[in-house]
Structure 1
Amino acid sequence: MGPSGCGKTTLLNALSRRGRVTAGEVRYGESGSLWSKKLKRKVALVEQDDCLFPMLTVREQIRYSAALRLPSLSPKEREDRAQALIETLRLDKCAETAVGDSSVVEKRGVSGGERKRLSIALQLLTLPALLFCDEPTSGLDSSITLSVVEALKDLTRITGVTVVCSIHQPSSQVFALFDKLILLNKGEALYQGPTLEAANRFATLGLPCPATFGHAEWLLEALVLERFGEVELDALRAEHGVAAFAPFARHTGAAAASAPDEKLPWLAQVRVLVSRCWKVAKGSLWSYELATLQLVIGLLEGLLFARIGYAEEDAAIRFRACFIIVVKSMFFPMLNALPVIPTSEVLLRKELAVGAYSLSAWFMPATTIPLLPDFINAAVNFVPMYWIAGVADDAGAFFLSTCAIICTIICFQSIGYVFSIVSGRRSGSVTMVFMSFCFLFSGVFAPLDKIALPWIGYLNPLFYATCFVAQSVFLQGTSYEQDDASKPPKTRDEVLNDANLYTPAGVCAAVLLGVAVLVRLLAFLLLQRKMRRVLLVQTAVHDEVPSAPKHAATVTVQAEPSPKLQPGLAGAVSANVEAV
């Protein structure tokens, strides 16, 4: 506990091994084990912000997390553990309620306290020995705060887990629930010991707690208003600072070695993540409002080009219709792709930090399922426009044009993912610049062989998409009557050559899909690099226990076997950490 900026979150991040290691060591257990992949499963952190799937129920959130993080358990064992956590953390009444979005009134689901208890339950699935909670009561009212801390207190009694919380200004009821207190100020520990004795220690220094103050309130006021003199501070530093700790006693063995290094097979990870992504996305696959918009636009376009003929001037009109078809297949998918990865990054980082799955297993369903709404909306728009306009009265041409639209959507959605990762908040502006390039150098406004840099148009995916559709709708065997009746009709190939759209449909499809594959690979590599830079958990493994640091703090907790959560948390839990 301590005032804002005293180092509470920094201390928790150091002990839970979050963030880049700059100096020093943290040791765990009676053996003084250093951080390892196996130890990571025994240390959990509940961050201050609850990041959950609004569309999933409380039970579904726990089930999917259990499926990913507990591969060695049978489905029944996972279900039993999920149910035990729901009961232990008092989530029974809201187990089938969608979590919802607390920032949107119409989409509110569970309460703030229930969200926090759900976040705690997700971290308890692997039966950690240490549970760190960064300000678990932040933003909650007094009654909900009390219920959250009482749930944490119950956890220590029922499961034997050691719970370490940072807290800013608790009420007297909440303060009394904690067994021990570390009081921080400006990065220093000024008190470490039983919670209810802290005020008495301050009283011996000439600062008794007034009758109108609660103990926690008085302790914080004494620190914030700097009521201590240097003599009192030196006494507290000598008693509770780094120099007060006995040297760390080195033991043999590895307390964390018993934690299994579990990892779900890659294909199984993909299967679980596909199921979860589908459940999250299926509510947004169909929107009556958006479908109506696309349908109306398609009808208007059909009326605009109604029954295109086969005269010489009709060739240009048919080219414009082809261009409009591919522009919509570029515009909406690319814009829709921009928020997909940024809105998932926080939850992705947290789940990667606990080793729930690999990034590649997440990337495939998370970036593929969002294609479905784009396909549906494109179909609603394209079908009426195509047949009313008479772009090509041929079923084969229709299906080939549909393939062109699918390839175009996949290509430009992939490009949108790259822009969202590289450009961040500026991704919208970067996307508009790229779209302008695609429009201007598509070959529709000016033939590519007539511009200053004719080769640049062939770097434009929209050019190949336009060629693909044009090759589909300009049917073999058709001809276009010229205005000069003395001249023979122009063949289909002559019309396409005049417009520089002679690239075969197969080549266009290969280019669009090739660009999609390469760009998606680039997006994955960029996201992987970004996650490595911001990922909180360090993965360095120490096989041996080196010499102990000069000073360390020791916390020992005795716990009874858990009647609910199975063995794994019971017994003595000893954590030795370097004083920070």
Structure 2
Amino acid sequence: MVRSGTLSAIMGPSGAGKTTLLAAVSQKSSGEISGEIHMNGHPVDKELMKKMSGFVPQQDLAFESLTVREHLQFMASLKMDRRVSAIQQMRVISGLIQDLGLLMCSKTRLSSLSGGERRRVSLAVQLLTDPPVLICDEPTTGLDSSTAASVINLLRQLTAKGKAVLCSLHQPASGIFEMFDTVTLLVPVGRLAYFGNVNGAKQHFASMNLVCPPAYNTAEYVVTQLNTKPDEITEKFISSIPFIKLNKEIEHVKLSENNNQLIFGIEEKFLKFYSVQPPTKLMQLKWLLWRSILELYRNPQKTFLSLVMYIFTAFLVAIPYIGVKLDQEGIQNVQGLNYSVVTETIFTHAYAVVHTFPLEIPILLREMNDGVYQPAPYYLSKVFLLVPRVILETLLFCLVIHWTVGINVGPKGFLIFFIPAMVSGISSSAYGCCLSAMFENVSTASLLSVPVDFISYCFSGIFLQLSSVPVYLVWLKYISRFYYGLEAMTIMQWINVKNIPCSSNPNIPCISSGEGVLVKYGYNPNNLFFDMSGLLIIFFLLHFIGYLFIKRRTQKQSVY
């Protein structure tokens, strides 16, 4: 039981279930929970409890390239009622920055903040909606004694505004422990060992002949006893005066609820939480794009290095084919060039994004569980940023190769390389996103991709004569990005070549036209539209599958 205007602590040894209890109370646990949560004697459902409470987790997770003010602006835009104007949002943000002592670091990136500053930023995020209940999971963990005391003092100030603040603690310093009004003590497996005011805890343990030595940290002594004598302590608490008082208070609340004495109070006081209108999916997409663009802008060296390496690779691909001609000897060389362009584009863009979701999953789960945004806008924001990047990198890659090799001079000749390579690239980026969404780590995703990629490029038409493939294996080429990309590029390269000079060496077979080249490799000259459509279908299908995996993770994977 937590009262408004009080600072309450939950304490116990490791494994006692402190975080689990907080997650259950705040309705953020994905596991099965029995029992009910009442507020002012009125049952509160999951959605309303999420709106009426703020949960500050033990670990501070955020996109660290953003400044404090930018991070709060992003959160305010997605957590607050969409009817609140931007000016009102900025007033709330400025007020919290002032009240929580963040003014000096408001323009500092999150990556440069101290532990205490990061904890205050996490508090500010949860206070944006002015919830009547604030729940903090071990807010002093990882902080020195002075910083820890300042954080608890800050929470104490919030109770003066009528908020109910509930915190889990491990072994706080004596001065910090005494700042709390009430304490709940748990033993392993979540059994209740004590509930009451902080001063009464010491007396209760003394009544069991567990007397805290003079000048000894009361909190540390109590937690030690909970670890060594859990059964004895829980049994004695059931027959103690604090337990009897607790039951009487609970019965009083139930009686008040049955008499409908408190229903009007909750309806009147918390009416605004019932009518909150969350931001639309379009607004969520807008702000997610805004944050992602800021992340890119703040990390230019990563983008620059990627482009430099891609251009360097293009030169490496092009150098062996400089001066290649469209003659009998050049047929194999041109096809080798086509294959190199397609495979390099496919592999580069597939593996460049395979790390995307594993790195962001902890933040993603945290923010979605907090109701900041939904899976669809998040996934779309990644796709909308990824596609232009793939197009730009492929454009530079093909420009370098086309200029270096010197084949098919002119804009039309350039498009022969660029269009199939670009569509292959965006299709492969979808493949990378799908793998990234399916698995929790990059190594597992990469391991699965090896046999998939091997089968795909075997059916590209370079290593295997496609016309000789057994009927029961023909379908494999239709799921190969390499097949679609290489066939499309080969068609565009050779379809308009009407005459290929024969070699003066009579022992070299003569292929006299571009259509003959297509026949040689088992390609259909009428398949250009089919190939492009196949790549685009793969693009949309794999992104849809990737989205479903992200959505499933947010629903099934536990956050706390």
Matched, 1:19 2:29: yes
Q: State the alpha-carbon separation in 1 of the partners of residues 494 and 72 from structure 2.
A: 54
Q: Which amino acid aligns with 2:165?
A: V
Alignment of 1:51-450 (within 5 A): 51-70=61-80, 71-100=82-111, 109-157=112-160, 159-186=161-188, 187-226=190-229, 230=232, 233-239=234-240, 240-241=242-243, 244-246=246-248, 247=251, 248-249=254-255, 250=257, 251=260, 252-253=263-264, 254-255=266-267, 256-259=270-273, 260-284=275-299, 287-425=303-441, 426-450=444-468
Structure 1 range deviating more: 361-370 or 307-316: 361-370
Cα distance in 1 between the residues matched to 2:307 and 2:70: 29
Structure 2 SS opposite 1:139: coil
**Gap change, CA 1:292 and 1:265, over 3 Å in 2:** closer
The answer for the alignment partner of 2:529 in structure 1 is 506
Q: Deviations over 1:220-269 (max 9, x none)?
A: 2222233x884x65332223458941322213345444412311122222
- State the 1:87 CA deviation: 1.6
* Aligned equivalents of 1:121, 1:208: Cα separation in 2: 40
CA distance in 2, matches of 1:488, 1:353: 66
**Change in CA separation of 1:526 and 1:293 when aligned onto 2, cut-off 3 Å:** closer
Cα separation, partners in 2 of 1:242 and 1:410, compared to 1, 3 Å:
farther
Q: Does 1:461 align with 2:481?
A: yes
> 1:338 aligns to what SS in structure 2?
coil
Q: Which amino acid aligns with 2:555?
A: R
CA distance in 2: counterparts of 1:403 and 1:536, whole angstroms = 43
Aligned to 1:470: 490
User: How far does residue 400 in structure 1 lie from its aligned partner after superposition?
Assistant: 4.4
1:441 and 1:463 in contact (8 A); partners too: yes
How far apart are the structure 2 equivalents of 1:378 and 1:123? 43
Q: In 2, distance between residues paired with 1:218 and 1:4?
A: 15
Kindly provide the amino acid, as one letter, of the partner of residue 436 in structure 1. F
CA distance in structure 1 between the aligned counterparts of 2:314 and 2:57, rounded to whole angstroms: 47
What amino acid is aligned across from residue 501 of structure 1 in structure 2? Y
**C-alpha deviations, 1:374-416, integer Å up to 9, x for none?**
4443334332222211232231131343222221111111112
Residues in 2 aligned to 1:530 and 1:207: alpha-carbon distance in whole angstroms: 47
Q: Which residue of the partner structure matches residue 572 of structure 1? A: none
| Unmatched runs of 5 consecutive residues or more in structure 1 | 101-108, 538-580
Secondary structure of the equivalent of 1:49?
Answer: coil
8 Å CA contact 1:238–1:244 kept in 2: the answer is no
**TM-score in terms of structure 1 length:** 0.85
- Give a deviation string over 1:53-93, Cα, whole Å, max 9, x none: 11111111100111112212111100011111112221111
Change in 2 beyond 3 A, CA 1:536/1:32: farther
Q: Among residues 497, 507, 521, which one is paired with 2:519 in the alignment?
A: 497
CA distance in 2, matches of 1:198, 1:489: 94
Q: Aligned pair in 2 of structure 1 residues 298, 156: CA closer, same or farther (>3 Å)? A: same
Match of residue 523, structure 1, among 528, 539, 546: 546
Note closer, same or farther for the CA distance 1:21–1:323 as it changes in structure 2 (3 Å cut). Answer: closer
Distance change >3 Å, CA 489–CA 497, structure 1 → 2: closer
Q: Which moved more, 1:458-467 or 1:503-512?
A: 503-512
For structure 1, which segment, 465-474 or 404-413, has the greater mean C-alpha deviation from structure 2 after superposition?
Answer: 465-474
Deviation at 1:373, TM superposition (A): 4.1
Q: 2:503 aligns with which of 483, 489, 492?
A: 483
What corresponds to 1:34 in structure 2?
A: 44
TM-superposition CA deviations, 1:322-363 (whole Å, max 9, x none): 111111111121112222122222222222223222221111
For 2:224 and 2:436, the matched residues in 1 are separated by 46
Instruction: Please say if residues 390 and 426 of structure 2, whose CA atoms lie closer than 8 Å, have aligned partners that are also in contact.
Output: no
Percent of pairs with identical residues: 23
CA contact (8 A) 1:64 1:276 kept: yes
Q: CA deviation at 1:483?
A: 2.2
| Structure with the higher helix share, 1 or 2 | 2
Aligned AA (1:347): I
CA contact (8 A) 1:310 1:479 kept: no
| Number of the residue aligned with 1:105 | none
Q: Which stretch shifts more, 315-324 or 272-281?
A: 272-281
- Worse overlay, 31-40 or 428-437: 31-40
Partners of 1:270 and 1:145 lie apart in 2 by 37
Equivalents in 1 of 2:325, 2:110: separation in Å?
56
Q: Scaled by the length of structure 2, what TM-score is found?
A: 0.88
Q: Check conservation: 1:190, 1:241, Cα contact below 8 A.
A: no
Partners of 2:209 and 2:245 in 1: how far apart?
A: 24
User: What is the one-letter code of the residue matched to 1:293?
Assistant: M
SS in 1 for 2:183: strand
Partner of 1:569: none
CA separation of 1:488 and 1:301: change in aligned 2, threshold 3 A: closer
Structure 1's 135 and 380: CA in aligned 2 closer, same or farther, altered over 3 A? Answer: same
Q: Secondary structure at the match of 1:369?
A: helix
**Cα offset, 1:485, TM superposition:** 7.1
How many residues are matched?
526
Q: Distance in 2 between matches of 1:2 and 1:242?
A: 21
Q: Report the Cα distance in structure 1 between the residues aligned to 2:289 and 2:231, rounded to whole angstroms.
A: 61
The aligned counterpart of 1:45 is 55
Whole-angstrom CA distance in 1 between matches of 2:140 and 2:383: 35
| Change over 3 Å in CA distance of 1:147–1:379 after alignment to 2 | farther
Change in 2 beyond 3 A, CA 1:482/1:284: farther
Q: CA deviation at 1:111?
A: 1.1
| Letter of the structure 1 residue corresponding to residue 296 of structure 2 | A
Say which is worse superposed, 168-177 or 361-370, in terms of deviation: 361-370
Rounded to whole Å, the distance in 2 between the matches of 1:37 and 1:3 is 31
> By how many angstroms is 1:9 displaced?
1.3
State the distance in 1 between where 2:243 and 2:365 align.
34
1:281–1:369 CA contact under 8 A, matched in 2: no
Structure 2 unaligned regions, length at least 5:
1-10
The amino acid that maps onto 2:19 is T
> Secondary structure of 1:143's match?
helix
CA contact (8 A) 2:427 2:538 kept: yes
- The root-mean-square deviation of aligned C-alpha atoms, in Å, is 2.4
Change (3 A) 1:141 1:372: farther
Query: Residue 500 of structure 1 aligns to which amino acid in structure 2?
Result: G
Question: Quick check: 1:98–1:110 contact (8 Å CA) kept in 2?
Answer: yes
CA distance in 2, matches of 1:149, 1:382: 59
One-letter identity of the residue aligned with 1:432 = V
The aligned amino acid for 1:276 is: R
> Compared with structure 1, are the counterparts of its residues 352 and 300 closer, same or farther at alpha carbon in structure 2 (3 Å cutoff)?
closer
- Distance in 1 (CA, whole Å) between partners of 2:208 and 2:511 is 105
